[in-house]
């Protein structure tokens, strides 16, 4: 009886601390404090020598597999701004099209904040890359069931992606980006860049440590699952962060 009472009060303590933490997390999450309309203008029309972002990232902000560009719509504000600052200071090098460093440098710090704010708030339903179409075009696509186990459970050698990126990779702001419904080609290219060290702007080398342990198959499988996964469990539309 005594043990039962102790465990009941421990449970009450856990329940009492967990509930406010979840509420606080969503309240603290920043959607950006920049000027949305200036961000939209830059995204759609460019500025000075900086071309319109939509020419590569799509009118809807959902990226493009043929170009290797990422989806930006609905990504976390703090993460987007960090990437633009990292490109502007050459902490991250764009080796796909060799354009992002110049693009970021061509914007003022306020412009970068404005465009990140616009993108973080851009709502767009997008269910990820079309894996069948990519496979028909000769792209090696991974197996979603193997990818699901890496993302959600991990292995003795590899931490589950979920432990940092949240359920199905739906993001855990401010540090951990949304990788759910990201473009397949971009997911694969970034994992390979973290693995060979050509992308090295991850805090404390967290992603390089993970990617170094991944085989080509692991990368393709995780990317296949992430691009096409659902963002919540069946019957539960609630998520801790309203990112999209
Ligand atoms: C000519 C094509 C092109 C244009 C124009 C372009 N981008 Fe990019 N962008 C890319 C490519 C390619 C990458 C991926 C770089 C890599 O492989 O590391 C990228 C990556 C990014 C990322 C990193 C996203 C992530 O998930 O890490 C951000 C943010 C970004 N671009 C914002 C912008 C903004 C804002 C503009 C307009 C001012 C813009 N881009 C214009 C091609 C382009
Ligand atoms: C220990 C924490 C941690 C784990 C576990 C982890 N990641 Fe990451 N990941 C990060 C961080 C931090 C970043 C952001 C790096 C930055 O700021 O540029 C990141 C970024 C990424 C990106 C680049 C996103 C973009 O838009 O540029 C991809 C893709 C990615 N992770 C995939 C994965 C996959 C797949 C797994 C599981 C196999 C995984 N991560 C596990 C911490 C983690």
Query: Using CA atoms, how far apart are residues 182 and 129, in angstroms rounded to an integer?
Result: 7
Mean pLDDT of 35-42: 98
Among 33-42, 119-128, 180-189, the least confident range: 119-128
The rounded mean pLDDT for the chain is 89
138's CB contacts (< 8 A; 6+ apart) are none
- For ligand 2, whether the C-beta of 207 sits within 6 Å is yes
- For ligand 2, whether the C-beta of 163 sits within 6 Å is yes
**What pLDDT digit, counting tens, does each position of 142-156 carry?**
999 999 999 999 999
Residue nearest to atom 36 of ligand 2 (CA): 161
- Indicate whether 66 pLDDT > 70: yes
Ligand nearest to the CA of 218: 2
- For ligand 1, whether the C-beta of 88 sits within 6 Å is no
Query: Using CA atoms, how far apart are residues 114 and 199, in angstroms rounded to an integer?
Result: 25
Among 70-79, 120-129, 135-144, the least confident range: 120-129
- For ligand 2, whether the C-beta of 100 sits within 6 Å is no
Name the pLDDT band for 244 (thresholds 50, 70, 90): very low
- For ligand 1, whether the C-beta of 106 sits within 6 Å is no
**What pLDDT digit, counting tens, does each position of 82-93 carry?**
999 999 999 999
Q: Which atom of ligand 2 is nearest to the CA of 191?
A: 29
Residue nearest to atom 31 of ligand 1 (CA): 100
Mean pLDDT of 105-127: 95
- For ligand 1, whether the C-beta of 84 sits within 6 Å is yes
What local confidence, expressed as pLDDT, does residue 86 receive? Answer: 98
How is residue 43 written in tokens? Answer: 């995204």
How is residue 31 written in tokens? Answer: 């959607």
Percent of the chain scoring above 90 in pLDDT: 80
Closest of 181, 159, 175, 174 to residue 231, by C-alpha: 181
Whether residue 174 has a cis bond before it, omega within 30° of 0: yes
CA of 72 to the centre of ligand 1 (A): 8
Taking the CA atoms of residue 65, residue 66, residue 67 and residue 68 in that order, the dihedral angle to the nearest 10 degrees is 40
Mean pLDDT of 98-127: 95
What local confidence, expressed as pLDDT, does residue 232 receive? Answer: 83
Pocket-testing residue among 152, 164, 226, ligand 2, by greatest number of atoms within 8 A of Cβ: 164
- Indicate whether 78 pLDDT > 60: yes
């Amino acid at each position: 009886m005594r043990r039962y009472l102790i465990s009941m009060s421990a449970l009450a303590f856990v329940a009492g601390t967990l509930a406010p933490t979840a509420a606080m997390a969503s309240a603290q999450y920043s959607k950006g404090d920049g000027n949305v309309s200036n961000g939209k203008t830059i995204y759609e029309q460019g500025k000075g020598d900086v071309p319109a972002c939509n020419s590569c990232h799509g009118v809807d902000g959902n990226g493009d597999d043929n170009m290797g560009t990422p989806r930006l719509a609905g990504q976390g504000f703090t993460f987007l701004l960090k990437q633009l600052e990292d490109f502007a200071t050459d902490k991250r090098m764009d080796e796909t099209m060799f354009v992002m460093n110049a693009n970021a440098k061509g914007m003022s710090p306020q412009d970068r904040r404005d465009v990140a704010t616009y993108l973080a708030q851009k709502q767009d339903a997008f269910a990820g890359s079309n894996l069948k179409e990519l496979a028909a075009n000769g792209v090696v696509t991974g197996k979603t069931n193997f990818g699901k186990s890496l993302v959600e459970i991990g292995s003795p050698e590899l931490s589950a992606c979920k432990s940092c990126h949240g359920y199905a990779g739906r993001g855990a702001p401010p540090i951990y980006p949304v990788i759910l419904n990201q473009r397949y080609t971009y997911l694969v290219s970034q994992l390979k860049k973290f693995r060979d060290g050509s992308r090295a702007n991850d805090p404390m080398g967290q992603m390089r440590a993970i990617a170094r342990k991944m085989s080509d198959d692991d990368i393709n499988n995780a990317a296949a699952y992430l691009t096409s996964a659902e963002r919540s469990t069946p019957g539960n539309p609630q998520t801790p962060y309203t990112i999209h």
